[in-house]
Chains A and B, each alone.
Chain A
Amino acid sequence: MPRLLLFIPLALFGVLILFLWKGLSLDPRELPSALIDKSFPAFKVESLLQPERKLTMADVIGKPVLVNVWATWCPSCRQEHDQLLRIAQENKIAIIGLNYKDNRAAATQWLSELGNPYQLNIYDESGMLGLDLGVYGAPETYLLDAQGIIRHRHVGVITEQTWQELQTIMQSWGAN
C-alpha cells in the first residue's frame, strides 16, 4: 500500500501534463459570445447600398441567416470573400453583411469588384450595432436561427471547414 502512495506525485504530474497539453491547442482569442442563445440586438441602421432604406430586426428574422461582420480595412475579410461567394451560390442560407466602421464608397466599390454574396448589408458606420453584438474585430460571423436568436459565433476567416461546421449545426436544428 505505501508503495502505491509513492506514485501519487507521478499521477499529479500526469494530470498537469494533460492540462498543459490541452492548453497548447487552445486559442485565447476565441472567446465565447456573451450573446449565445440570446436575441440579436434590436437595431435601426441604414442599408449600405440603399442609404434611404432603414434596416431593422424584421429584415433579419423569418429564416436562419449568417450575419457576417466585414469591412474594407480588414485584410482577412478579403481572404474569406471567395468562401462567402461559394456559400451564397449554394443557396442554403442567406448571408447578411454587417459593414462595420467602414466607408460607404469603398465598401460599395469592394462589392462591385469582388462580387456581392450578401442579401442585405447593414451599414454600421459608428460601430454601435457591432458594440451591442459584442464584436471586437472583423471578420466575425454569427449564425442566427429563424427567430433571430444567435446560435453560434465564429471569430476569424470562414473556411470550407467552418462552413461544414455551420451546416452541421443547422442540420441539428432540423432534427429537433
Chain B
Amino acid sequence: MFFSLNSAYAAIDTYEFKDAEKQARFHDLVAELRCPKCQNQNLADSNSAIAQDLRQKIYEMLESERSNPEIVDYMVARYGDFVLYEPRFNSQNAILWLGPFVLLIAGLLVVIFLVRQRGKDDSAKENTLELDAKQQKRLQKVLNKDKK
C-alpha cells in the first residue's frame, strides 16, 4: 500500500497546477477513475501507456476549466461505465443495487410469517390446557389423595 501510493504520487507530480483547488480535483479524479488496461488499478496507480494518456487528458481538461462531471462523462463516453470505481445506478446494474433490499424485505416477511404462525400454535395449546370446573375438582381430588 505504501509503495503504491508512493509511485502514484511520483507519477502525479509531473503535472503542475496553478491553483491548489485544481490539483486536489486532479487527485480525486485519478483516484476514482479506473485504468482500462490494467483493470485493478486506478489511473493514479497505473503506469501503462493508456493511463498516462488519460492523466494527461484530465490535466488538459482541468486547465481548460472543465468541471469534474464533464471529465467523468468524457471518460465514460469512451471507455464505458467500466472506468468508474463508483458505479452509477442504471438499468443494467439495478439488480445489484436493489437486490439486497429485496432480499432483506423477503427475509423480514418470512420472519414475520413464522413468528405469527408460532403465536397461533401457542395460543391453541394454551386452550387445550385449560380445564373446566369438573376437571379441576378431579385434579384437586387426585392431588389430595397423594398427600394422604
Please give the residue numbers on chain A whose beta carbons come within 8 Å of chain B beta carbons, in ascending order. Answer: 28-29, 31-35, 101, 127-128, 131-137
Contact between B37 and A136 (Cβ–Cβ < 8 Å)? yes
Query: How many whole Å from B37's CB to the nearest CB in chain A?
Result: 5
Chain A residues positioned under 8 Å from B54 (CB to CB): 131
Of B39, B49, B78, the contact of A134 (CB 8 Å cutoff): B78
Known A101-B49, A131-B54; judge A137-B37 contact (CB<8 A): yes
A-B pairs with CB below 8 Å: how many?
35
Chain A residues positioned under 8 Å from B36 (CB to CB): 31, 134, 136
Chain A residues positioned under 8 Å from B76 (CB to CB): 34
Contact between B79 and A134 (Cβ–Cβ < 8 Å)? yes
Chain B residues positioned under 8 Å from A29 (CB to CB): 39
- A-B CB proximity, top 6 nearest: A34-B80, A136-B36, A134-B78, A136-B37, A136-B50, A134-B79
Chain A residues positioned under 8 Å from B57 (CB to CB): 131
Contact between A33 and B80 (Cβ–Cβ < 8 Å)? yes
Contact between B78 and A132 (Cβ–Cβ < 8 Å)? yes
Q: A127-B49, A134-B79 are in contact. List 9 more A-B contacts (CB 8 A).
A: A31-B80, A34-B76, A35-B78, A131-B53, A131-B78, A133-B78, A136-B36, A136-B50, A136-B79
With the chains together, A29 CA to B57 CA distance in Å? 23
Chain B residues positioned under 8 Å from A101 (CB to CB): 49
With the chains together, A127 CA to B37 CA distance in Å? 15
Chain B residues positioned under 8 Å from A134 (CB to CB): 36, 78-80
Interface residues of B in 24-54 (CB under 8 A from A): 36-37, 39, 49-50, 53-54
Main secondary structure of the interface of A (DSSP, over half): loop
Please give the residue numbers on chain B whose beta carbons come within 8 Å of chain A beta carbons, in ascending order. Answer: 36-37, 39, 49-50, 53-54, 57, 76-80, 82
Q: List the A residue with the shortest CB-CB distance to B57.
A: A131
Known A29-B39, A31-B36; judge A137-B50 contact (CB<8 A): yes
With the chains together, A52 CA to B113 CA distance in Å? 78
With the chains together, A134 CA to B36 CA distance in Å? 9
With the chains together, A32 CA to B37 CA distance in Å? 13
With the chains together, A137 CA to B37 CA distance in Å? 7
Query: How many whole Å from B52's CB to the nearest CB in chain A?
Result: 9
Q: List the B residue with the shortest CB-CB distance to A31.
A: B82
26 A-B pairs with C-beta separation under 8 A: A28-B39, A29-B39, A31-B79, A31-B80, A31-B82, A32-B80, A34-B76, A34-B77, A34-B78, A34-B79, A34-B80, A35-B78, A101-B49, A127-B49, A128-B53, A131-B53, A131-B57, A131-B78, A134-B36, A134-B78, A134-B80, A136-B36, A136-B37, A136-B50, A136-B79, A137-B37
Contact between A127 and B80 (Cβ–Cβ < 8 Å)? no
Chain A residues positioned under 8 Å from B39 (CB to CB): 28-29
